[in-house]
Amino acid sequence: MTALEVLYYALGAVGLLVFLSMTVMALTWLERKTLARIQQRMGPMRVGPHGTLQPIADVLKLMSKEDITPSSADKRLFWLAPVAFFLPALLLWVTIPLSRDLVLRNMDMGLFYIVAISVLSVAGLALAGWSSANKYALLGGLRAVGALISYEIPFILAVLGVGMLAQSLDLTQVVDGQQNFAYILIQPLGLFIFLAAGLAELGRTPFDIHHAESEVVGGPFVEYSGAHWAVFMLAEYVNTFTIAALTVLLFLGGWRWPAMPLDGVGHTILSLAWFLAKTYLVILVIFWIRGTFPRLRIDQLMSFSWKVLVPLSFANILFTGIVLYYDLGRWVLTILSLLSLAAAFYLVFNKYGNLKKRNTVRVYSVRELGLKPAAKPPPPDAPSDGDPPPQGAPGHQPAS
């Protein structure tokens, strides 16, 4: 490694960090505004025009808050947990290309590297839950471990399906393979599995049981305040951006699809803009899902993964393999994917019966139940029911 290469990598890393920080700040603002619009309100408006400086205010607030460590917490693990959660989020970005030439280090086993590193963040959550010396944190941490591990398998298999289609694990090759048809058109099932598994990996609604605000009040993060918590939030938003970027790269054609001019600096800037536009679209969908849905219970979450997503992802790989081995047209894969998605949706929908059967509440008219007019009050000189109150009870003022 020459000194020039070291300088190149160092500058690239710094640039990547700056880019990610800007993105995270933009994402916090965007999330609050999107949720506010869904809820028919305005979101941040005061700090800067339409609240655009709100993330800076948030950062300043979090940095200046007191960092409280519970006295019975395991101090080293308590300090290690945010780092263990945050580092894998950053390490992933070494190999994710934002455009053909904008990648820190393009590996030919890129997808393998991504999947392997992303598993490491589970350790951060487990450490946070354990070291906080708080029962709610422990519960949240254990739930997080269970959920994240359950969803690794569909995640890996969905990525594998794309790798089979592209015949490579290199991300730039995957995008190049989509120059005619994005993989969403060929493998819609893969997109569904990837998005569901990705949402669960992120810990976002409907899979955010481990830091559900209404039950375990923050889960593993409950004892963290100030800058510590900021690191967790930073990692979560970086992960959100990562999953969205991966969705775009693997399924939506990256920076290529549809046609994109291939040469020069213009190509780089245009493709970067196109890539970012698609990524933000996916992020908006993620926020939209967050605003709409309730969350699943932990056992329902895990059973959804093991009983629905894992068979579906095996089916995905099977269909992809059949189509590739027998060299059938890609449209066969589309049809098979859509059929299995429809079958899965129908089974999920039909679990509770059709809309008529779900409604177990019947409205009875009051005539049917025999509503009568109110009883007239008795005439004033009728004797009252019960004994009259005693005279002279302690604390009782006598009637005037």
Partner 1 sequence: MLGNLKGLLVTLGVVRRKHVTAQYPDPKKRLQVDKRFMGFPALLWDYSNDEPFCTGCMVCVRACPTQCMSAQMQDNLRHADGTSRRRKIIETFEINLNRCIVCAICVDVCNFDAIEMSHEHEMSRFERNGARSNLQQLLNMGKKFQSETGWEPIQPEKNLGSAEAVAKLKAAGGQASEEKAPEPAGAKKSGQTGADS
Partner 2 sequence: MMLNMGPQHPSTHGVFRLVLWLEGERIVRAEPHIGYLHRGSEKLCEREDYTQIITLFDRLDYVANLNCELAFCMAAEKLMALEVPERAWYIRTILCELNRIASHMLFYGVYGLDVGAMTPVLYGFRERERVILLFEAVTGARMMHNYIRVGGVKEDLPDDFGKRMTVLIDELKRGIDECDALLTNSELFLERTKGVGTIDGPTAVDYGVTGPMLRAAGVKEDVRISEPYGIYDRFDFGIPVGTHGDCWDRYYVRVEEMRQSLSIIEQAMSQMEAGPITAKVRRIARPPRGEAYLRTESPRGDFGVFLVSDGGDKPYRVKVRAPSFANLQSITHLLRDAYIADAVVILGSTDIILGEVDR
Instruction: Give Cβ neighbours of residue 332 (< 8 Å, ≥ 6 apart).
Output: 323
Residue of 303, 322, 345, 378 interacting with partner 1 (CB under 8 A): 345
Distance, CA of 370 to CA of 308 (rounded, Å)? 49
Is the Cα torsion angle 164, 167, 173, 178 positive or negative in sign? Answer: negative
**Piece of the chain touching partner 1 by CB under 8 A; list 35-43, 56-64, 151-159, 268-276:** 35-43
Choice from 76, 101, 180, 292 touching partner 1 (CB under 8 A)? 292
Select from 6, 39, 61, 149 the one that contacts partner 1 (CB under 8 A).
Answer: 39
Q: Based on the number of CB atoms within 10 Å of its own CB, is 208 exposed (0-12), middle (13-18) or buried (19 or more)?
A: buried
Q: Establish if 167 lies at the interface with partner 1 (CB under 8 A).
A: no
Contact present, 100 and 255 (Cβ < 8 Å): yes
338 near partner 1, rule: CB under 8 A: no
> Long-range pairs for 105-109 at CB < 8 Å and ≥24 separation?
105/9, 106/170, 106/171, 106/172, 107/170, 108/168, 108/169, 108/170, 109/169, 109/170
71 binds partner 1 (CB under 8 A): no
388: partner contacted, choices partner 1, partner 2, none (Cβ within 5-8 A by kind):
partner 2
**Of 1-9, 42-50, 74-82, 270-278: span binding partner 1 (CB under 8 A):** 42-50
Return the number of the residue (100 or 204) whose C-beta is nearest partner 1: 204
H-run or E-run covering 341:
helix 330-350
Tell me if 18 contacts partner 1 by CB under 8 A.
Answer: no
Binds 325: which of partner 2, partner 1, none (CB < 5-8 Å by kind): none
> Which pairs from 213-217 meet CB under 8 Å and 24+ separation?
216/136, 216/137, 216/139, 216/140, 216/143, 217/136
Report residue 301 as tokens. Answer: 């979450």
Query: Is 89:121 a contact under the CB 8 Å cutoff?
Result: yes
Q: Which residue, 34 or 313, has its beta carbon nearer to partner 2?
A: 34
Peptide bond into 154 cis (omega under 30): no
Please identify which residue in the block is written with the tokens 């309100």: 41
Applying CB under 8 A, which part among 9-17, 73-81, 217-225, 284-292 lies near partner 1? 284-292
288 binds partner 1 (CB under 8 A): yes
Q: Which of 41, 356, 362, 372 binds partner 1 (CB under 8 A)?
A: 41
Compute the distance between CA of residue 137 and CA of residue 223 in angstroms, rounded to an integer: 8
Task: Work out which of 19, 37, 112, 181 binds partner 1, going by CB under 8 A.
Answer: 37
Cβ-contact 35, 289 below 8 angstroms:
no
288 binds, among partner 2, partner 1, none (CB under 5 to 8 A by kind): partner 1
Residue with tokens 């946070």: 128
Contacting residue, 38, 60, 63, 335, with partner 1 by CB under 8 A: 38
Q: Which of 59, 217, 291, 306 binds partner 1 (CB under 8 A)?
A: 291
Residues that bind partner 2 (CB under 8 A): 35, 38-41, 135-136, 139, 205-206, 208-209, 212-217, 290-300, 348-349, 351-352, 355, 358-367, 369-375, 377-380, 382, 384-386, 388-389, 393, 395-400
Kind and range of the H or E run holding 60 = helix 54-64
Tell me which of 262, 293, 331, 378 binds partner 1, using CB under 8 A. 293
Q: Which residues bind partner 1 (CB under 8 A)?
A: 36-42, 45-46, 288-289, 291-293, 345, 348-349
